[in-house]
Amino acid sequence: MAGLGGTQAADQMLGDNPGAPAVKDTTTATFREDVLTDSLRQPVLVDFWAPWCGPCKQLTPVIEKVVKSAAGKVKLVKMNIDEHPEIAGQLGIKSIPAVIAFQRGQPVDGFMGALPETQVKQFVERLIGPLGAGDEEYAAAEAALKGGDAEGAAETYRALLEEDPAEPRALGGLAQALVALGETDAARELLDSAGTSKHAAISAARAALDLAAQASNVGDLAGLEAALAKDPQDHQARFDLAVGLNAEGRRNEAADRLLEIIKADRNWNEDGARKQLVQFFEAWGPMDPATLAARRKLSTLLFS
């Protein structure tokens, strides 16, 4: 598959394509034309789904309605991962439904789960128009957590749980805040109460908890930097350094270390660097700037 870049080609191909359908199915063989090429004209949403997935069936009529109401400004392409698993696997899609937005041949945004129509509409508006109002309390809690105020985020999530003790966004958010505060036992107990839930917030918290456990075994980052300076081919040191950098909140640096391994030796440790990067994506969330930036770089490596 050709590279995902090509701004000169993009400039030549930009423009409306009124004859193209707003919603269509794609395959591994037609992915480049249906998604990468068409995203040079307008944003393309790729909906990764499977026939057995209940939430996928909930999302389908919602996202199709929103896309069709956009009057050709955005396109929806659906990929059945049972029949065509390769692209989803390469992009690190581990749970469905998952929607990734492409523009100019690159993934730029995404979400997981069967969102309500208002949130799907807001997602599309980020690509083609004004962003609608969101849930202010959740937005504030997420901003606090990303800004380093884990205590403030935990307080907000606890208040939200008092209103609805089973709300997965609040459960997952509080668990992530507890991990950030070093209260991993409390986070694990909270996640156990979520049972087998595969909600994106719960999955992200579980990934964050696993990463915290990994980071506790990494050791001194300066020592790892010294090992790399001595032997630039020491991918294990580079891998451990990525885990440690992530634990310090240095997400872009952590992702870049893993991308360096993937570029040098894709098969190192049975594709271990890419698998670790996918776990980062899961913990950070599909719309985190570090996820978006690293996923673009990963796509370039995989598809070039």
Active site residues: 53, 56
Query: 136: buried, middle or exposed (CB in 10 Å: 19+, 13-18, 0-12)?
Result: exposed
Q: What are phi and psi of 24, to 5 degrees?
A: -155, 165
Listing DSSP states for 58-84 in one string gives: HHHHHHHHHHHHTTTSSEEEEEETTT-
Please, what's the largest Cα pairwise distance for the chain?
A: 59
Q: How far is CA 235 from CA 226, 266, 303, in A?
A: 13, 11, 22
CB 112 within 8 A of CB 98: yes
Beta-sheet strand order (sheet of 75-80): 23-25, 75-80, 44-49, 98-103, 106-112
Whether omega before 97 lies within 30 degrees of 0, making that bond cis, reads yes
Angstrom distance (rounded) from CA 108 to CA 293: 8
Half-sphere exposure of 193 (CA within 13 A, CB side): 15
Q: Which DSSP letter does residue 132 get?
A: P
> Taking a C-beta distance cutoff of 8 angstroms, is the pair 140, 170 a contact?
no
247, 250, 254, 257 alpha-carbon torsion, rounded to 10°: -130
- The identity of residue 193, as a single letter, is S
